[in-house]
């Protein structure tokens, strides 16, 4: 087994899948020719991660409403959380990337490590099955899952959304009032969360703060920034 396989507790039947998961897109860019990279495996791994975490929360937090389950899931699959998992495996050391990307700190970059972790999940799934991928995910997330059971509600939706987006871009989301209606003592505010020209979500509340929080929760449910990333 390779050192990384020993770390993750899984030996690949097809080593090319592991190589693909560890190949950053900068390799192809630097070679100026077509070269496999981990973007497709990242796409697959993200979907598997979402499924496994969603199923776990559904089974283990039976009294929580949909909105709260969404908050908990967002916490477990945030880019920062995935970066932490990747760092624990020392994944950055094993990545293949272009010299320019390497020199600019790519091995420690949040988005790079999070993408590689998702790609690794996709590779394990293709090399084995869903149950093996589930075991890997839940093992890596065991500490976070334990903390979640102890403190399931300590989350700031606006802060969490900002953290998610700043792992992708230097820009932060902004909140714009769409409308306000009703008498002064019982106004209703509608606010939209906007990031890089994309309306990520919309929320309603009795004051601007409540509406902004609702818009952030809506944004985390819709995850429109991911569609934009893939376009």
Domains delineated in the chain: 3-154 (1.10.1520.10), 158-230 (3.30.160.20)
Long-range contact set of residues 131-140: C-beta below 8 Å, sequence gap at least 24: 132/10, 133/48, 133/52, 134/52, 136/8, 136/9, 136/10, 137/48, 137/49, 137/52, 137/53, 138/52, 138/56, 139/9, 140/85, 140/88, 140/89
**Spatial distance between the Cα atoms of 35 and 32, rounded to a whole number of angstroms:** 9
Task: Look up the pTM and report it.
Answer: 0.66
Q: Would you state the pLDDT for residue 209?
A: 85
Selecting among 37, 42, 46, 218, the annotated active-site residue is 46
CA distance 38 to 120: 9
Distance of CA 223 to the CA centre of its chain: 10
Catalytic member of 20, 118, 127, 163:
118
In the residue annotation, 46 being an active-site residue is answered as yes
* pLDDT, tens digit only, all 231 positions of the chain: 689 999 999 999 999 999 999 999 888 776 666 778 999 999 999 999 999 999 999 998 887 778 788 888 888 888 888 999 999 999 999 999 888 777 878 788 888 899 999 999 999 999 999 999 999 999 999 988 887 776 655 557 888 888 888 888 888 899 999 999 887 777 788 999 999 999 999 988 878 888 898 899 889 888 888 875 544
pLDDT for 13 equals: 96
Catalytic residue status for 108: no
In order of 73, 129, 188, 200, the CA distances from 206 in angstroms are 26, 48, 5, 21
């Amino acid at each position: 087994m390779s050192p990384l396989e020993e770390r993750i507790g899984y030996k690949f039947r097809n080593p090319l899948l592991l190589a693909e998961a560890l190949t950053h897109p900068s390799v192809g860019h630097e070679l100026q020719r077509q070269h496999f990279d981990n973007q497709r495996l990242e796409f697959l791994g993200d979907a598997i991660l979402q499924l496994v975490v969603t199923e776990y929360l559904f089974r283990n937090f039976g009294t929580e409403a949909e909105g709260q389950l969404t908050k908990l899931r967002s916490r477990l699959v945030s880019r920062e959380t995935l970066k932490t998992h990747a760092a624990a495996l020392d994944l950055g050391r094993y990545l293949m990337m272009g010299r320019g990307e390497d020199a600019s700190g790519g091995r420690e970059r949040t988005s790079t490590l999070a993408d590689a972790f998702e790609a690794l999940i996709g590779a394990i799934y293709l090399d084995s099955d869903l149950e093996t991928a589930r075991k890997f995910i839940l093992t890596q997330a065991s500490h976070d899952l334990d903390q979640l059971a102890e403190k399931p509600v300590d989350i700031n939706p606006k802060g969490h959304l900002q953290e998610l987006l700043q792992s992708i871009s230097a820009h932060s989301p902004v909140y714009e009032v769409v409308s306000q209606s009703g008498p002064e003592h019982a106004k209703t505010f509608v606010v939209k969360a906007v990031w890089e020209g994309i309306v990520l979500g919309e929320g309603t509340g009795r004051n601007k703060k409540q509406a902004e929080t609702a818009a952030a929760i809506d944004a985390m449910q819709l995850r429109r920034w991911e569609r934009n990333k893939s376009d």
